[in-house]
Chains A and B, each alone.
Chain A
Amino acid sequence: MVNACFKLDCLNSDATPWIAELVNLLGGDAVLSSDEDLVPYSFDGTAALKQRPACVVFPRSTEDVAACVKLARRYDVPVVTRGSGTGLSGGSVPLTGCLVLCLVKLDRILEVDPRNLTLRAECGVITKEIDDAASGHGLFYPPDPGSMKISTIGGNVAENSGGLRGLKYGVTRDYVMGMTVVLPDGEIAWLGNKCVKDVAGYSLKDLFIGSEGTLGIITEVLLKLLPKPAARRTMLAMYDSMEAAAETVSAIIAARIIPCTLEFLDRMTLGCVEDYAKIGLPTDVEALLLMETDGHPAAVEDEANRMMEIARQNGAREVKMAADEAEGARLAAARRNAFSALARVKPTTILEDVTVPRSELAAMVKFINETASKYRLLIGTFGHMGDGNLHPTFLTNEKDEEEMHRVELALGEIVEKTVSLGGTITGEHGVGLAKKGFLKQQFGRVSYDLLKLVKKALDPAGILNPGKIFD
């Protein structure tokens, strides 16, 4: 009985010759096309987006990927690349009838090079496993997106994922030194090297980082690692107003301290996270700031004390330090689940990713709250206060048309305000399908056309993830 669910149940290879060719190419076990197999590949981590592909394949090598791309091009079938499907802008949501390349089986860590502080891995390796492998050599891989326990490194690079440590350590882009990429014509290119300095030609690898699967398929990455910080301190500050928390963040930055993490959760989010994690977070405060500093033990001690002092000066009701690293890790883990935990409140959670210059944080937070009450909507807000990246999350029901209309109006206003403050519509989730409608607003005609020009130059046939980022 068990075998039955591993075989192709109802593959009608006569009707779709390109699927039959894929079976020949990769073997029947690596090609899925039954209804029961396709329904679960119709979505990623984004709310309310669902489209069914014609077929899902599991390549095992760069060459497999290249062969699939060539085949898709021959049959003019769009290709959507996917890792673990945790994206939050619909970047890996299939197009109806497309070919999905699921790269989770390219999952080998190929090399850790402690002499050059690099790690080379296939694209399907889980992000956390990258960090674990580095950790074995006393090193670490700083980008830590919320879904790091299951997201793939290839997906992180394609989306240029951020995380909780962006403030001090930057984002995925800052750690990519090289990559193997399959181009839209099926050719295989290696871009980059282990050199810290390299100005030979255009920085082509940078073109593919954050390209959301529209320009090429990243199959292997060369990553930069850092020495693991010797010490880490985690602190919590509780506030009666969100503005006071935002003021604290500005004051810390102004005091020339760069903590590795400055995360905040509002009251609604706190309630949901505590309900899930049960780690004793306060649920009766308006805002909570999770602060973390790492580095040399002496510097960490000094920074931690100064940050706690600044929090108190800026109206924190209570400030406390995590007892040990384990407690700090538990707090950070709970914060990583904030978005999913908010789903406890209402059937549909629509997550935003607007980001503003840090000086505008307090204004933006205030505006989001006003917009929520203006449109009678439930919004839970959390995010990376230290780098200006906010995640206002609409708690709604996709089946309630009238409310969904109000959500759209509110969203429009939040985006408009973001752009007017010099911000961006997406700090770390990507444009995909979800933010496509707002991109023009931020870019202006010339730069928007430039985006399309790049796409056209690399993928004239429009085979890779068409209709994502822009039409």
Chain B
Amino acid sequence: MSAESGNKGVGAKLLKQLDYSVLQQCMHCGMCLPTCPTYMETKRERNSPRGRIALMRAMADGEAPVTKSFADEMYYCLGCLACQTACPAGVNYVELFETSRAEVERSGVQPRGQRDFWRWLTLEVLFMHPQLLRAVGVMLRVYQRTGLQSLVRKLGLPKLMPGKLGALEPQTPTVADAFSDDLIDAVESPAEKPRYRVALLTGCVQDLVFSQINRDTADVLLANGCEVITPRNQYCCGSLHGHNGAPELAQELARRQLDMFDVESLDAIITNAGGCGSHLKHYGHLLHHDPVYGPRAAAWDRKVRDIHEWLVEIGIRKPVAEPATVDSTPVEVTYHESCHLCHGQKITSQPRAVLNVIPGLKVKELPESNWCCGSAGIYNITQPEQSAKLLERKLKNLESTGAGVVTTSNPGCHMQLAFGLKGKPGAKCHEVTQPVSLLAEAYRREGKGVREEG
């Protein structure tokens, strides 16, 4: 695995081109350390934000080469951005993180072969071509619905799969019965005269696995007086590419995304996935070198809103409580924060505000609610060991709340929590859902303001 060239390393290029002041911003005070899940696990400086930044700076200064060991470090980092929240000096860690991963991929210190194949298949093929991705989704759906999957599992075939694939098989999410375009019309209008005109981003994993959450989001927007525009066959937002060292592909996807929307005509562009939102709000920076798309991207950034952020901004309409709800024992729910929603977008109070307007709920605060659950994009695939430790920590905290339902707002976290709870049949917490879904249900219960499903 550790090829000779990888150990000796190659000179940095992207880190040298990076505005040096971004690196200099870190004054290594150490305030990030207690918030970094990898540092707290190992207590080793290289596994901390300031340690990683020191390595990046040494490379930018030409004092150290890019090595396989540095590559491992950058992929050991979750990219959870907890350090950005903790940093008093305002270090832009996400830019350093993405540049370093791009540097790693550019330098060729990573092993070739299988890794290249998977990167090509996911980053360059599937997540660049939405129709293809959905076609694969349909195939997976057939595999899961026909009983083929349970047969494969019973025969113990996953054990025969190469490398880590077999171990990952149980984590394969169940593909939804219908995708967003089947559930949501291109234009939907609220019962009364619309107050706002917004676009809805359907995402990729969200679309394949959690299309109902997209439907719920649309319902909630309608119930709050928004006309909802949902372009067909949407592209991946590119966060997967940005975070995994493929900036050119991320830029390409951003351009395609911009071409799909008439930004000027919209009051807001709504995202309901924490990870995507964090990336979507920085198209301006991603395309700042592009004379054509740069200005459009800047306008886009100003309109992108997380669903909770938008609801609080326009004032959420409180659902009317059913008489039955008023008397019955409230359902106890807790809230797990997606890293890129709370650290990447600094949205912390709004999802709680959404939960708090729903009748019949009692919101219990989750200890360490903003500590990564270990999903972290594809981290559960690339770093299963550390991911499992973080999941275990999260489940313990969930249990301590006594709540039966946990809510979150990111498909990665949602799947990770559902996977974790599946392994704990006796746990008090038995359901994972999202604040918008609970809100949509509450509106449905009052029987007005939302479109009938069908």
Contacts and interface: CB of A to CB of B under 8 A. Distances in A.
Interface of A: 1-2, 4-6, 9-10, 32, 34-37, 39-45, 47, 58, 84-86, 102, 104-105, 126, 147, 149-151, 273, 275-276, 337, 339-341, 343-344, 347-349
Given A4-B2, A147-B31, A275 B48 contact: no
Interface string B51-75: 1101100100000100111101101
A84 B69 contact: no
Contacts of B30: 45, 84-86, 147, 150-151
B25 to A, nearest CB: 7
Contacts of A150: 30-31, 33-34
B88 A58 contact: no
Contacts of B257: none
Contacts of A275: 90
Interface string B37-57: 000001111111011101100
A157 B87 CA distance: 26
Count class of interface residues, chain B: 35 or more
Contacts of B75: 1
Contacts of B45: 37, 40-41, 85
6 contacts: A36-B69, A37-B44, A37-B46, A40-B46, A45-B30, A347-B21
Interface in B176-231: none
Contact of B7 (A10, A45, A276, A344): A10
Given A43-B54, A126-B34, A347-B24, A36 B70 contact: yes
A280 B28 CA distance: 26
B431 interface: no
A341 B69 contact: no
Contact of B31 (A36, A337, A344, A349): A337
A287 B43 CA distance: 39
Given A84-B33, A341-B88, A2 B386 contact: yes
B89 A44 contact: no
| Main secondary structure on B side of the interface with A | helix
Contacts of B76: 2, 5
B90 A344 contact: yes
B79 to A, nearest CB: 15
B34 A344 contact: no
A1 B383 contact: yes
| Main secondary structure on A side of the interface with B | loop
B445 to A, nearest CB: 35
Nearest to A42: B54
A39 B89 contact: no
The interface centre, meaning the residue of A1, A10, A42, A276 with most chain B CB atoms within 10 A of its CB, is A1
CB-based closest 8 A-B pairs: A40-B51, A340-B88, A343-B89, A40-B45, A347-B24, A337-B88, A341-B88, A86-B30
B27 interface: yes
A52 to B, nearest CB: 10
A149 B55 contact: no
A41 B48 CA distance: 11
B72 A4 contact: yes
A331 B68 CA distance: 44
B292 interface: no
Contacts of B34: 126, 149-150
A464 to B, nearest CB: 22
A72 to B, nearest CB: 21
A76 B42 CA distance: 30
A44 B28 contact: yes
B51 to A, nearest CB: 3
Nearest to B54: A40
Given A2-B383, A149-B34, A347-B25, 10 more contacts: A4-B1, A5-B47, A36-B69, A39-B54, A40-B46, A45-B27, A86-B30, A105-B43, A341-B89, A344-B89
Given A40-B54, A150-B34, A347-B25, A5 B48 contact: no
A276 B88 contact: yes
B446 interface: no
B27 A349 contact: yes
A204 B68 CA distance: 49
A40 B48 contact: yes
A47 B28 CA distance: 8
The interface centre, meaning the residue of A6, A85, A147 with most chain B CB atoms within 10 A of its CB, is A85
B67 A36 contact: yes
Contacts of B44: 32, 37, 40
Nearest to B68: A4
Nearest to B46: A40
Contacts of B27: 45, 47, 340, 343, 348-349
A147 B27 CA distance: 14
Contacts of B69: 4-5, 9-10, 34-36
Contact of B24 (A5, A32, A348): A348
Interface string B370-392: 00000000000011111000000
A290 to B, nearest CB: 16
B4 to A, nearest CB: 11
Contacts of A151: 30
Contacts of A339: 29, 88
B28 A45 contact: yes
Contacts of B54: 39-40, 42-43
B50 A40 contact: yes
B410 to A, nearest CB: 23
A37 B52 CA distance: 10
Nearest to B21: A347
The interface centre, meaning the residue of B2, B29, B76, B87 with most chain A CB atoms within 10 A of its CB, is B29
Contacts of A39: 46, 51, 54-55, 58, 64
B239 to A, nearest CB: 22
Contacts of B46: 5, 36-37, 39-40
B77 to A, nearest CB: 10
A348 B28 CA distance: 11
A5 B77 CA distance: 11
A43 B31 contact: no
The interface centre, meaning the residue of B44, B70, B75 with most chain A CB atoms within 10 A of its CB, is B44
Contacts of B42: 6
A131 to B, nearest CB: 14
Contacts of A340: 27, 29, 31, 87-89
Nearest to A87: B30
Given A4-B1, A147-B31, A337-B88, A36 B24 contact: no
Contacts of B89: 340-341, 343-344
Contact of A343 (B73, B88, B384): B88
A39 B45 CA distance: 9
Contacts of B385: 2
Interface string B9-33: 0000000000001001101111101
A47 B55 CA distance: 16
A127 to B, nearest CB: 11
The interface centre, meaning the residue of A5, A45, A149 with most chain B CB atoms within 10 A of its CB, is A5
Given A43-B28, A86-B30, A339-B29, A1 B88 contact: no
A449 B58 CA distance: 39
A407 B25 CA distance: 19
B11 to A, nearest CB: 14
Contacts of A9: 2, 7, 69
Contacts of B382: 1
B297 to A, nearest CB: 25
A340 B68 CA distance: 32
Contacts of A37: 44-46
Contacts of A337: 31, 88
Contacts of B48: 40
Contact of A36 (B21, B25, B55): B55
Contacts of B67: 35-36
B433 to A, nearest CB: 30
B415 to A, nearest CB: 20
B346 to A, nearest CB: 9
Contacts of A45: 27-30
A10 B8 CA distance: 10
A341 B89 CA distance: 5
